Chains A and B, each alone.
Chain A
């Protein structure tokens, strides 16, 4: 089946620093990638949708200047959390799909901001 990877799997950073998370589709071309956030015992909440070569579309309440998304190629999307604060600590999960096919999820990145 299709494989999506994320790097790093976990990261700890100081408040005020920026953190970049990578999402890669390993064996298919991801025309669309999605970024989700999941707080403990909560559901996955969609943050933004990005199409290769286009600007990301952010969900209501998600600050686009704080969560920078780049989808520069058909196999890579990055999420940068700028000036991270403790309330940004969460589990960030990407997913990817080729065309209108099924979304495949990455293993997630756990972010802890001290």
Chain B
């Protein structure tokens, strides 16, 4: 079993829809959970950063962590064509090493 599982997509949704992106993980030692956005041929950009379980909201983005289920989510409200990118979940534990998911390719259709 891989440490982090993420559906690669692609996921296509119409503009204005709510997008739900998810990851599952197997290592219960993970404590910090991140979501990165990566445009084609670019480096990843940190979107959200959450410690332990709970919700965190930043503008149109909401990150959720459920440690009991080892499941994390990123919601994007009022999706825009400019949100089209690959979204990578990532997590780390005490050793500070970031483990990334494969990324989900998202297409927002105008």
Contact = CB atoms under 8 A, between A and B. Distances in A.
Question: Main SS of chain B's interface residues?
Answer: loop
Nearest to A91: B41
B43 A108 contact: yes
A43 B102 contact: yes
B100 interface: yes
Contacts of B98: 34, 46, 103
Interface string A92-114: 01010000101111111010000
Contacts of B97: 46, 49
B interface, how many residues as a size bin?
10 to 19
Given A103-B98, A108-B41, A110-B41, A43 B103 contact: yes
Given A43-B100, A43-B102, A107 B42 contact: yes
Given A41-B8, A43-B88, A44-B88, A105 B44 contact: yes
A41 B102 contact: yes
Contacts of B103: 43
Nearest to A105: B43
A42 interface: yes
A95 B92 CA distance: 15
